Amino acid sequence: MVHEPAKSEKINKMITKEEVLETQKNWAEALIEIGKLKEDRKACEQLTKEKLDELYAYDLGEVLFKPTRATEYQFRGTKEGALSYFIGGNSTFSEDSGFALQPWSAVRFENAGMILNENIAVAMGNYFFTESGSGEVKKVEYTFGYIKSPDGNLKINLHHSSVPFTPSM
């Protein structure tokens, strides 16, 4: 006899808004933490690799990654491409200076909306990056997709960010 999950079991598997918010918080904290290690390349690279493993779904399948400050290599389908975007230092992606190395003192997500399903979720909105030192805030638009890993944690499998449109005169 095959066990059919009860309705309550299915609901408990559903990705929640709180899980998405927690993953966004973890992503923001990781970006700030990486930037603090800017002067210690080895530690910075090690932490960035750990955070990519923790927060992105490269171990589960394809990840669609379109970073903000990329023009020559707009789309990064590999963990290596994401690593280079965040901390630079890869000659294949020579345009990368390391977005996480700004460094940033704060990152705030402002969700315009979320689509929540059993094993996938999508959030879209703006996030705001506060520069360390100057305190200047940069607004960036984003869409993140999330999937639930076998251990129950959310991981990012879609990362698209872009600078807001500025009309020319």
Domains of the chain, CATH where assigned? 7-162 (3.10.450.50)
Tell me the whole-structure pTM to 2 decimals.
0.89
| Residue 24 CA to its chain's centroid (Å) | 7
| 140: amino acid identity, one letter | V
Contact between residue 64 and residue 75 where contact means Cβ atoms under 8 Å apart: yes
- How many CB atoms within 10 Å of residue 93? 19
Per the prediction, the chain carries an average pLDDT of 91
Checking if the pLDDT of 84 tops 50, the result is yes
Burial of 49 (0-12, 13-18, 19+ CB in 10 A): middle
Can you say whether the dihedral through the CA atoms of 137, 134, 96, 146 is positive or negative? negative
- What residues form DSSP beta bridges with 128? 108, 139
Grade residue 141 by pLDDT with cuts at 50, 70 and 90: very high
Checking if the pLDDT of 117 tops 70, the result is yes
Residue 69 has what pLDDT?
81
Residue 12 has what pLDDT?
52
